[in-house]
């Protein structure tokens, strides 16, 4: 980390360099013009990229004066936090005010006093290092905050997923149903709900064991996601062996077609179920209900209507779907 002296007078540069080096500041670079300083801070000098701790600039120089030099350096993003001390033989208030406005943090009067110079340098370097430490700490805190935010978002996401099947859980389903119910009323569109239940699932567990039962539930969830075509279609595990699908902007005909596709895909998966009373393979029973925008119905009423249709499917032999009805009168 270097201290840079900018002065077009050789004697002045050498005196300052001697003061600094005899006091332990060995990395001292001296340049004789603003343009040479620009090349240095931009990494174009023979020294390449230089880490600068402090710049001492003479105000009065023949080519580009110190005030303009200071202002131009401070325009560089990498130099915003680098302290600049102006060296001046003048005490004119206007010049000093211009120097501070240009970004200088301090000034030292010429002829230079060694003790004063070193005291001002030490103070500037302390301030620079403290600023760097504070910024590093702020960056670290921002990163920790970002990581916590990511972790919280991940936890929130996980809290909305069923731990076994990986699809939405009951809590997530309840939120989605409320949201889509409100959207349907607001946008004057129909939406549908499917409730489905694995047929004779207790017998499946008793026959093949609970591990196979868990695999069965995961397979059904996978088939639901695979069969549903639209990103807005929302499958969820409602509880136990029961699943639900929210179908935004879907009328009775569309919901019936989708329900039949779900039933068919699960039966055709060919999961053996030797103790099912309706098939040699795993099947599901489904209840479908559609609500229209003019129907002021609560989500619980939709679930109740779909459940009634589901139990009608069970009572009529299972492995089938039934359509529930909600009166169009509010």
pLDDT value at position 235? 97
Q: Of 130, 241, 252, 267, which one is the catalytic site residue?
A: 241
Residue 328 DSSP one-character state:
S
Q: Are residues 209 and 268 in the same domain?
A: yes
Rounded Cα distance between 34 and 61, Å, is: 9
User: Alpha carbon of 107 to those of 92, 100, 227: distances in Å?
Assistant: 12, 9, 75
Q: Are residues 219 and 76 in the same domain?
A: no
Number of domains in the chain: 2
pLDDT tens digits, residue range 203-246? 999 999 999 999 999 999 999 999 999 999 999 999 999 999 99
The domain in which residue 181 lies consists of 170-323
Token pair of 258 as six digits? 């989708």
pLDDT over 90 at 159, yes or no: no
Confidence of residue 295 (pLDDT cuts 50, 70, 90): low
pLDDT over 80 at 61, yes or no: yes
Instruction: Using a cut of 0.75, tell me whether the model's pTM lies above it.
Output: no
Q: Are residues 8 and 129 in the same domain?
A: yes
Q: Are residues 50 and 103 in the same domain?
A: yes
pLDDT value at position 244? 97
Does residue 114 form part of some domain? yes
pLDDT over 60 at 328, yes or no: no
pLDDT value at position 320? 96
pLDDT over 90 at 281, yes or no: yes
Query: 184 exposed, middle or buried (CB, 10 Å; 0-12, 13-18, 19+)?
Result: buried
Does residue 99 form part of some domain? yes
pLDDT tens digits, residue range 177-207? 999 988 888 888 999 999 999 999 999 999 9
Closest CA to 191 of 180, 203, 179, 207: 180
Q: Are residues 190 and 114 in the same domain?
A: no
Q: Are residues 309 and 216 in the same domain?
A: yes
Average pLDDT, the chain: 92
Does residue 142 form part of some domain? no
Centroid of chain to Cα 291: 36
Instruction: Give catalytic status of residue 51 as yes or no.
Output: no
């Amino acid at each position: 980390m270097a201290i840079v002296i900018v002065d077009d007078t050789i004697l002045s540069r050498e005196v300052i360099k001697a003061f600094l080096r005899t006091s332990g500041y060995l990395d001292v670079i001296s340049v004789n013009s603003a343009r040479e300083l620009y090349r240095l801070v931009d990494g174009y000098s023979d020294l390449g990229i230089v880490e600068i701790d402090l710049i001492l600039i003479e105000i009065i120089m023949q080519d580009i004066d110190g005030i303009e030099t200071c202002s131009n350096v401070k325009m560089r993003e990498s130099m915003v936090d680098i302290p600049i001390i102006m060296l001046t033989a003048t005490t004119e208030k206007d010049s000093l005010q211009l120097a501070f406005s240009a970004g200088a943090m301090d000034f030292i009067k010429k002829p230079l006093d060694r003790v004063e110079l070193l005291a001002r340098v030490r103070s500037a370097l302390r301030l620079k290092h403290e600023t760097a430490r504070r910024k590093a700490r702020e960056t670290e805190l921002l990163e920790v905050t970002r990581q916590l935010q990511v972790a919280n978002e991940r936890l929130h996401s996980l809290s909305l997923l069923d731990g076994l099947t990986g699809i939405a859980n009951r809590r997530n389903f309840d939120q989605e149903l409320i949201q889509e119910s409100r959207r349907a009323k607001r946008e004057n569109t129909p939406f549908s709900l499917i409730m489905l239940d694995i047929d004779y699932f207790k017998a499946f567990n008793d026959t093949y064991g609970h591990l196979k039962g868990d695999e069965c539930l995961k397979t059904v969830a996978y088939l639901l996601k695979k069969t549903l075509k639209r990103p807005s279609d929302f499958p969820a595990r409602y509880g136990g062996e029961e699943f639900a699908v929210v179908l935004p902007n879907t009328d009775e005909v569309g919901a019936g077609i989708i329900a039949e596709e779900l039933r068919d895909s699960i039966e055709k998966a060919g999961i053996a179920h030797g103790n099912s009373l309706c098939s040699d393979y795993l099947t599901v029973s489904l209840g479908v209900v559609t609500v229209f925008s003019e129907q002021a119905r609560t989500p619980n009423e939709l679930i109740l209507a779909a459940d009634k249709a589901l139990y009608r499917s069970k009572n009529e032999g299972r492995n089938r779907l039934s359509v529930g009805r909600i009166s169009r009168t509010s």
